[in-house]
Structure 1
Amino acid sequence: MRPVLPRARHVAAALSLVLLAASAHAADLLDEVRQRGTLRVAVEGTYPPFNFKDASGKLTGFDVEIAEAIAGKLGVKAAFSTTEWSAILAGLQAGKYDVIVNQVAATDKRRETFDFSDPYVVSSAQLIVRTNETRTLATAADLKGKKIGVGQGSNYADLAKGIAGAEVKVYPGAPEYLQDLATGRIDVALNDSLLIPYLAEKTKLPVKAGAPIGPTESNAIPFKKGNPKFKQAIDKALADLKADGSFQKISARWFGRDVSKPPVAN
C-alpha cells in the first residue's frame, strides 16, 4: 500500500478540523436561540385564520399561537416578523429569521434547500368560488379557459399552472385574490382547505368552498439545513404540545378539530 505523505496527512488533518468546525457551527442554532432568548418567527400576517392582525392591530391566529407555544417549550419567547409570501422563503435562507410558521408545504423541492420539522398540519388544496356560482367547477377539465387566482410562490400556484388551458393570475397574497374573486375579475381561487370555513364565518366576502383538488399534503416548519439539535428540539416541542393537549386546544379554537389529522373528505 502506498504510504501517506506528510503533506497529505497535514491536508487531511486540516480538512477534518474544518469539517468538524463546520459541523459544530451548523448544530448551534438551538444554542443561539436559547442564548438570544427569542425564536425569530416569520409569518405573512395577512393569512387568516393562520396569522393576521386583529382589529386592535395585534398579531394573532393559529400559527401565531403554535409558534408561541413552541417557543415556550424551548424556554424562549417568539419574536415575529411579517413578510409577503413571495419573499418569505428567501428571507429564511438569508438568515433574517429562524423559522417560518406559515403553513409551508414540506415539498421535495423545498427540502433541497431547507430542513423541516415533523408535520403539524395535514390539509388539501381546495377551490374557492363566489357564493352565487352556478357553473360546475370541480375538475381540471372544468377549469379550462378559467382564471384562477393564487398566491405568488405558493405550491397552489404550481398546482394551478399544471391545469391545462387555465389562466393563472398570481397575487401577493390571499386578500388580493379573494377581493378579485368577489368582484368577478377571476373565476376561482385556490388555497388551503382549512382557510374556507374561516372565510365563511369571519368575513363578509361573497365566497364559499368549492371542490377539493390535488393531493393531501403535510405542512411543517422550515429552517436552515444542518441544525440537528434544533430540529430535535422543535420536533420534541410539537410532540409535547400534542401530548399535553395544548395543540388540540389551539387547533379546536381556530378550526373546530385537530388539524394534525388528515382532513375529512368533502
Structure 2
Amino acid sequence: MKRLKAYLAAAGLGVLGLLATASAGAADLLDDVKQRGSLRIALEGTYPPFNFRDEQGKLTGFDVEIAEALAGKLGVKPEFTTTEWSGILAGLQAGKYDVIVNQVAATEARRKTFDFSEPYVVSSPQLIVRANETRPLRSAADLKGKKIGVGQGSNYAELARGIEGAEVKVYPSAPEYLQDLASGRIDVALNDSLLIPYLAQKTRLPVKAGAPLGTVESNAIPFRKGNPAFKQAIDKALADLKADGSFAKISAKWFGRDVSKPPVAP
C-alpha cells in the first residue's frame, strides 16, 4: 500500500510538472502575430474622426493610422475587421482578432477580462447638443427628464444610466444618435470630447459642444490576458511612435494637438 501511495504521489507530481512545462511553453500572442505576419485589428469603422470610411470607401481616421503605425513597428501588416461596438469586446474575447484600436476606456471592470497597453489617448466625456440649444444643460441635475443618446455597450452608456431621472437611448454607433439629436428625437448625446471639434469642422449637422460630464479618462488597446511578451511589444511600439514624433504628427492631423497628453485649460 505504501508503494502504491508513493507511486500515485510521484505520478501526480509528474502530471503537475508536465502541466507547468506546457503552460510555460504556451505560445504568446506575439508569436502568433509574428508567425502570421499580420496584426488583426478590430474597430467600428463608423466613428469619425477615429475610424470611418472616406468618400472612396477606404478605411481611415486617427485610430486607423495609429494601428497601421503600430503594426509597422511590430514588423507585420495591419489586418482590419469592422464591427459594431455592441459586440466588439465579445469578439476579442472569442479570439476573432488580436486587438481593438477604437478608443476603449481601460476601466477596472474591463481589466478583469482583458489586458491593456499603456494609455495612448487622454480625453473626457462631453455632452453634445443642438446648435440652437438654449436650455442650461450643464450638469447631471439638468438632464433629469431628458433623453440622452449613447453608443450601445459604451462607458458613456454606463455614465448616462447613472443620471437620475434621465431617459437613456442606445444606438449601434455615433451617426445614428447624432442624426436623432439633430432632428430633435433626443435632447443630448454623450461621447468623447475629442469628437466635437471634428463634428464642427467636417459635418453639416447642427450640433455643438456641450458641457463636460464625468472625469478625465485614459483609452488604451485591449487584448486577451496571458500575453506578457505581446504587451511588452505593443507598449514599446507605442513608446517608439511617441519618441520618433509619428504619434504627435498623426494626432495633430486629426485633432490639432497631441491627444496622449491632457488638454491645457484655456
Q: Secondary structure at the match of 2:123?
A: strand
1:131 is aligned to 131
**Percent identity for Structure 1 against Structure 2:** 79
CA distance in 2, matches of 1:61, 1:193: 16
TM-score by length of 1: 0.96
CA distance in 2, matches of 1:170, 1:238: 32
1:55 aligns with 2:47: no
CA distance in 2, matches of 1:48, 1:188: 18
2:261 is aligned to 261
Q: Secondary structure at the match of 1:5?
A: helix
Q: Secondary structure at the match of 2:126?
A: strand
Letter in 2 for 1:62: F
Runs of 4+ in 1 over 2 A off after TM superposition: 263-266
CA distance in 2, matches of 1:264, 1:8: 64
Tell me, yes or no, if the aligned pair for 1:43 and 1:102 is still in contact at 8 Å: yes
CA distance in 2, matches of 1:264, 1:23: 46
1:10 is aligned to 11
CA distance in 1, matches of 2:142, 2:160: 13
CA-to-partner distance for each residue in 1:136-160, whole Å, 9 max, x for gaps? 0010100000000000000000000
Alignment of 1:228-239 (within 5 A): 228-239=228-239
Letter in 2 for 1:7: L
Give 1:166 deviation, angstroms.
0.5
Tell me, yes or no, if the aligned pair for 2:28 and 2:226 is still in contact at 8 Å: no
CA distance in 2, matches of 1:211, 1:12: 62
Structure 2, unmatched stretches of 5+, are none
CA distance in 2, matches of 1:5, 1:197: 72
CA distance in 2, matches of 1:135, 1:84: 32
Tell me, yes or no, if the aligned pair for 1:124 and 1:263 is still in contact at 8 Å: no
CA RMSD in angstroms comes to 1.1
Give 1:265 deviation, angstroms.
4.1
Give 1:14 deviation, angstroms.
1.2
Alignment of 1:155-194 (within 5 A): 155-194=155-194
Letter in 2 for 1:98: D
Give 1:21 deviation, angstroms.
1.4
Structure 1, unmatched stretches of 5+, are none
Cα 1:204–1:67 shift into 2, 3 Å? same
CA distance in 2, matches of 1:13, 1:89: 38
1:20 aligns with 2:40: no
Q: Secondary structure at the match of 2:141?
A: coil
Alignment of 1:1-266 (within 5 A): 5-25=6-26, 27-265=27-265
CA-to-partner distance for each residue in 1:188-217, whole Å, 9 max, x for gaps? 000000000000000000000000000110
Give 1:31 deviation, angstroms.
1.0
CA-to-partner distance for each residue in 1:21-62, whole Å, 9 max, x for gaps? 12432x521011011110000010000000000000000000
CA-to-partner distance for each residue in 1:80-138, whole Å, 9 max, x for gaps? 00000001000000110000000000000000100000000000000000000000001
Give 1:186 deviation, angstroms.
0.3
TM-score by length of 2: 0.96
Tell me, yes or no, if the aligned pair for 1:45 and 1:82 is still in contact at 8 Å: yes
CA distance in 2, matches of 1:165, 1:49: 32
